[in-house]
Amino acid sequence: MDKRIIGDIVEYKKGLELITKMNPVSYQMKNNKKQSLGLISQDVQELEPILTNENHGGLIGIDYEKLLMVAINALKELNEKCERLESKIESKKKK
Domain ranges of the chain: 12-93
**% of the chain exceeding 70 in pLDDT:** 100
d(CA 69, CA 15): 8
d(CA 20, CA 83): 20
Question: pLDDT tens, 13-49?
Answer: 999 999 999 999 999 999 998 999 999 999 999 999 9
d(CA 21, CA 74): 12
d(CA 74, CA 51): 15
pTM value is 0.85
The answer to whether 13 touches 73, Cβ cutoff 8 Å, is yes
d(CA 24, CA 81): 24
d(CA 41, CA 59): 9
